[in-house]
Amino acid sequence: MRFITGLLFTFICLLPAGSMAQNKVTLSGKVIDQHGTPIAQATIAVEESSCTFAGKTQTTMNVITKLMYSIHRILGTLLCILFLMWFLSAFVMMYHRFPRVSAKEKMQKLEMLSQNGDSLPDISSVTARLPHGVKVRSTMLNLNAGHPEFSFSTTKGTFHFLADSAISRPPLDSEHLHRTAALWCSSPITRIDTLHSLDQWIPFAELKKEMPIYKIYFADEAGTQLYLSSQNGEALQFSYRSERFWAWLGAIPHWVYFTWLRQDTVLWTKTVIWLSALGCLMVIAGIWVTVDVWRKTHRNRHSKFSPYRKRWYHWHYVSGILFGIFVLTFTFSGMMSLADIPEWIHKPALKKGSPTRILHARGPRPENYPLDYRRVIAAYPQALQIEWRNFREHPYYIVKDSKNEYYIDAADSLPRPLQLSEEEILKGVESIYASQRDSSQHIPGIRISLLEHFETYYRDMSNMYRGRPQLPVWKIVVDDPDRSVYYIHPETGSIRHTDTSSRWKYWSYTALHRMRLPGLNSNATLRKTVLWVLLLGGTAVCITGVALSVNYIRRKCHKRQKHY
């Protein structure tokens, strides 16, 4: 917040000085603006006084216009480098993201569950070790250092148990560390650093609980680095030199991922929002100035497209006319990536996330699943991980191997693919509203239909879904105050929920910032082509703005030297 306060203080201090400049416009057809730049073919005569808000002859519109000139000049000088950095890094972000360990990479490093044969215990003997009275939300099984490990997410936290209660969780000693590192890279280890604070490649506050963290350097040409948690040996980061190089050109400047700032999530969020908000104000002022100049210089039919003779002013004006609106939407949508939709626009009737939680509530405990998880592993010997899941009272397993996911119905003792019926999906949605209404309220109208194509709020997410089926899907429209729509896949139990707030979020961020618009969603080449054109235009606005800002600062410094 100190940075934001300083920025605002600078703006307040510079505003009076910026507004003291004089503009002279004469009937001779020659106009000299506040920077001494000649503007041709003017048709009006106005002489602005040295005080922005003083003078009885000035109208309210003149005062606002003069204020907009000052705002655009001052904020443009302060933010021009930041904006150029945002636009240039956006090109890189289209192809290179911030390096992270993906779920797919982690999955490929796991060992097959079937290698333990008949040593896997009955699930009831494991759940018996949980504290009395806790409610299990999710359960997962995979191998940790060759030992089957059960992870339970409960109302009282997360618990990890090895299958054999006589064996404690293996510590991350030197042998375990080297064994885990070898799974990620076969090259020799050159150095291992013990980190007690976050660094550039793990700048996230939630990783502080994993301290100390081991940073492992490998002797290979790719410059591989691996970060392991000392708590459980989990890989927290894995990257190559090339990924880190592109991150410096893309994600780090674009997302303002500097360690000292990003590790404080609240400060980072507020900083990005405030910088974007000030940027929106700067662009709005620039659009106002552009309209004002156009209006004053195009009353004559024979006027030129641009009234400016100086090169940088000319191209800033032209690029602003062509791409100014995009620069505004790009800045605003970047802010909305972190900002919430204000409640004065829409206040959700249902709590955030509650519909999905309700649909996953009331599930049977793991020991009450009719289908034993060991039969599932026997049917899928390549399984690396298994999860206990449910859709209301209907239990099922998610089995994952190195390439695919399988959804297995656990409602009886024989493994078979999951297939939720239309009736139980409809009853599940009805239960959301039955649980949140009082006796005087009625369940809103619900319509269900089978959707066999993608649409605006149900996009193709193949890259994230590891090849799992996405169509056909049941679309449930609810006549509630939130205008809720649920997309529930019968073969996976996956749920997507949209309401008025999420649609506002979609259009204010996803659609505007990533060009996820109808007609572009289904054509990645066309969407990227549109992005390239728009980003090139926005970059042109920024480059010319930087040149003008440098010239403005030079003039100010030159005047000050003359004064002394």
The Cβ of residue 206 has, within 10 Å, a number of other Cβ atoms equal to 8
> Tens of pLDDT along 50-101?
344 345 445 788 899 999 999 999 999 999 999 999 999 999 999 999 999 9
Q: pLDDT per position in the chain (564 positions), as tens? A: 444 434 433 443 443 333 333 344 433 444 455 445 554 443 333 344 334 434 544 578 889 999 999 999 999 999 999 999 999 999 999 999 999 998 889 999 999 999 887 789 999 999 999 998 899 999 999 998 788 999 999 988 899 999 877 666 767 888 889 999 999 999 999 999 999 999 999 999 999 999 999 999 999 999 999 999 998 889 999 999 999 999 999 999 999 999 999 999 999 999 999 999 999 999 999 999 999 999 888 877 657 888 999 999 999 999 999 999 999 999 999 999 999 999 888 888 877 667 888 899 889 999 999 999 999 999 999 999 999 999 999 999 999 998 899 999 999 999 999 999 999 999 999 999 887 765 556 788 999 999 999 999 999 887 766 667 889 999 999 999 999 999 999 999 999 999 999 999 999 999 999 999 998 988 999 999 999 999 999 999 999 999 999 999 999 898 877 766
Structure tokens at 126: 């494991």
Selection from 375, 381, 387, 369 nearest residue 150 by Cα:
387
DSSP, res 148: E
- Return the pLDDT at 24: 41
- Return the pLDDT at 433: 87
| DSSP-derived 3-state class of residue 189 | strand
DSSP, res 472: S
Backbone angles phi, psi at 389, to 5 degrees: -130, 170
Q: What pTM was computed for the model? A: 0.85
8 A C-beta contact, residue 80 and residue 88: no
Whose tokens are 């193709």? That residue is: 460
> Exposed/middle/buried for 47, CB within 10 Å: 0-12, 13-18, 19+?
exposed
Distance between CA atoms of residues 532 and 131, nearest Å: 56
Selection from 463, 472, 457 nearest residue 502 by Cα:
457
Q: Which amino acid type is present at position 4? A: I
CA 434 to chain CA centroid, nearest Å: 33
Distance between CA atoms of residues 194 and 174, nearest Å: 13
Whose tokens are 């100014």? That residue is: 324
- Return the pLDDT at 31: 47
Q: Tell me the β-bridge partners of 496.
A: 487
> Exposed/middle/buried for 464, CB within 10 Å: 0-12, 13-18, 19+?
exposed
- Return the pLDDT at 51: 41
- Return the pLDDT at 13: 42
**Alpha helix locations (H) across 337-361?**
354-359
Selection from 386, 409, 395 nearest residue 361 by Cα:
395
The set of residues, in sequence order, having a beta carbon less than 8 Å from that of 356 and lying 6+ positions away, is: 495, 497
Distance between CA atoms of residues 406 and 422, nearest Å: 21
- Return the pLDDT at 301: 66
Q: What is the CA radius of gyration of the chain?
A: 30
